[in-house]
């Protein structure tokens, strides 16, 4: 991508994501789930009740199964988790774009390593004058972008020196983000599939209803992303749907991906393409849930051909998008 060289005061850019367990071992998965589900931005119950629900009910019931799924992911990617692998690759490739400027790229994880706290500590120790926060979530949600930004705030509050801070809250309609996704879909011979499902991570309806009509309206942002991609690809309304996966109960945002897959297969749809625009890097949800478990679901109910569009990961067009977002904040 061609860009002008930025002559600017020293700036740190912190890419933010949720994180992964340190390994697929039950102990590491348990620690990760405890931190993730114990976050008030993820499960919005009073502190004591949240701790009881998470540590007494959810983790003991989910930890063993989650560990088995993380082990599948770990083995499939050669002893590493793709979210961290692609996060580090993204950091390195973005840094190359800014080698001729005073911009340094960092990566921080909310519930894993490298931790947001450790990255903020280093940024403050090096006395950068500006800090750009870039959550790697196209559509803003309190349980994703809100959670990582809250972790940044907590880490910064422990320090006396605070740089000038700017935040990229969302980029669900960014033209380069839409282009990068559309190109990935084109590479899959998308026109040969009867149905394309655009699936986003579901949220509790209590989270969704709080932000309806605001700039942080998650469902509206997801549907807008789908609309922009569909227009780019010239998709007609009967060829695609917007759905939501990874729900924990019926009181989560729908229509639910798994139920839609079954319904479409039973209705006679034989070929289906899955796109997951809310995930910019492959992870447990995209590789295991969407890539394996939902594929089996489709085939079991009469489907014949099921494929998934890989996440943006470290694609050059995706790096172009991030570079442009950063330059916009610098200027």
pLDDT grade for 9, boundaries at 50, 70 and 90: low
CB-CB contact of 66 with 33 (8 Å): yes
- Give the domain ranges of the chain: 11-171+315-330, 175-308
| pLDDT of 7 | 39
Classify 186 as helix, strand or coil: helix
CB-CB contact of 234 with 182 (8 Å): no
The conformation of residue 252, written as its DSSP 8-state character, comes to B
Residue 40 has pLDDT above 80, yes or no: no
Distance from C-alpha of 42 to C-alpha of 33, rounded to nearest angstrom: 11
Task: Look at domain 11-171+315-330 and name its CATH class.
Answer: alpha beta
| pLDDT of 224 | 98
What mean pLDDT do residues 11-35 have? Answer: 94
Polymer length of the chain: 331
The residue among 267, 265, 148, 254 whose CA lies nearest residue 201 is 254
**Number of neighbours of residue 123 by Cβ within 10 angstroms:** 23
Residue 43 has pLDDT above 60, yes or no: yes
239-257 per-position pLDDT tens digit: 999 999 998 888 999 999 9
Q: pTM of whole model > 0.75?
A: yes
**Number of neighbours of residue 111 by Cβ within 10 angstroms:** 24
What mean pLDDT do residues 27-55 have? Answer: 80
Phi, psi (rounded to 5 degrees) for 109? -110, 140
Which of the two residues, 259 and 213, has the higher pLDDT score? 259
Strand order through the sheet with 240-245: 240-245, 195-201, 271-275, 305-308
197: its two tokens = 């499902």
**Number of neighbours of residue 21 by Cβ within 10 angstroms:** 27
pLDDT grade for 63, boundaries at 50, 70 and 90: confident
Distance from C-alpha of 181 to C-alpha of 277, rounded to nearest angstrom: 7
Q: Where are the beta strands (DSSP E) in the chain?
A: 11-17, 103-109, 130-135, 164-167, 195-201, 240-245, 271-275, 305-308
Query: Could you tell me the fold of the domain covering 175-308?
Result: Rossmann fold (3.40.50)
Comparing 11-171+315-330 with 175-308, is the CATH topology the same? yes
225: its two tokens = 């992303």
The residue among 58, 159, 147 whose CA lies nearest residue 118 is 159
């Amino acid at each position: 991508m061609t860009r002008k060289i930025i002559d600017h005061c020293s700036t740190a850019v912190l890419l933010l994501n949720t994180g992964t367990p340190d390994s697929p071992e039950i102990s590491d998965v348990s620690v990760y789930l405890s931190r993730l589900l114990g976050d008030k931005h993820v499960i919005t119950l009073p502190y004591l009740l949240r701790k009881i629900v998470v540590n007494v009910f959810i983790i003991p019931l989910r930890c063993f199964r989650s560990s088995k799924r993380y082990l599948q992911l770990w083995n499939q990617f050669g002893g590493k988790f793709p979210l961290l692998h692609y996060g580090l690759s993204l950091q390195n490739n973005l840094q190359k774009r800014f080698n001729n400027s005073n911009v340094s790229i960092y990566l921080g994880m909310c519930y894993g390593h490298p931790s947001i706290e450790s990255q903020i500590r280093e940024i403050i120790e090096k006395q950068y004058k500006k800090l750009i926060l870039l959550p790697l979530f196209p559509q803003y949600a309190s349980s994703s972008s809100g959670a990582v930004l809250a972790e940044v705030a907590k880490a910064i509050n422990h320090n006396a020196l605070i740089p000038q801070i700017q935040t990229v809250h969302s980029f669900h309609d960014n033209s380069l983000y839409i282009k990068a996704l559309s190109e990935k879909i084109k590479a899959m011979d998308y026109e040969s599939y009867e149905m394309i499902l655009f699936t986003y991570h579901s949220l509790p309806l209590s989270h969704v209803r709080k932000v309806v009509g605001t700039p942080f309206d998650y469902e509206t942002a997801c549907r807008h992303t789908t609309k922009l991609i569909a227009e780019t690809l010239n998709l007609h309304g009967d060829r695609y749907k917007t759905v939501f996966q990874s729900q924990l109960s019926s009181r989560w945002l729908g229509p639910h991906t798994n139920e839609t897959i079954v319904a479409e297969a039973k209705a006679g749809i034989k070929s289906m393409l899955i796109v997951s625009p809310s995930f910019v890097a492959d992870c447990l949800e995209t590789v295991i849930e969407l890539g394996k478990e939902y594929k089996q679901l489709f085939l079991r109910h009469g489907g014949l051909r099921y494929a998934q569009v890989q996440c943006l990961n470290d694609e050059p067009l995706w790096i172009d998008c991030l570079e442009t977002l950063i330059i916009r904040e610098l200027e």
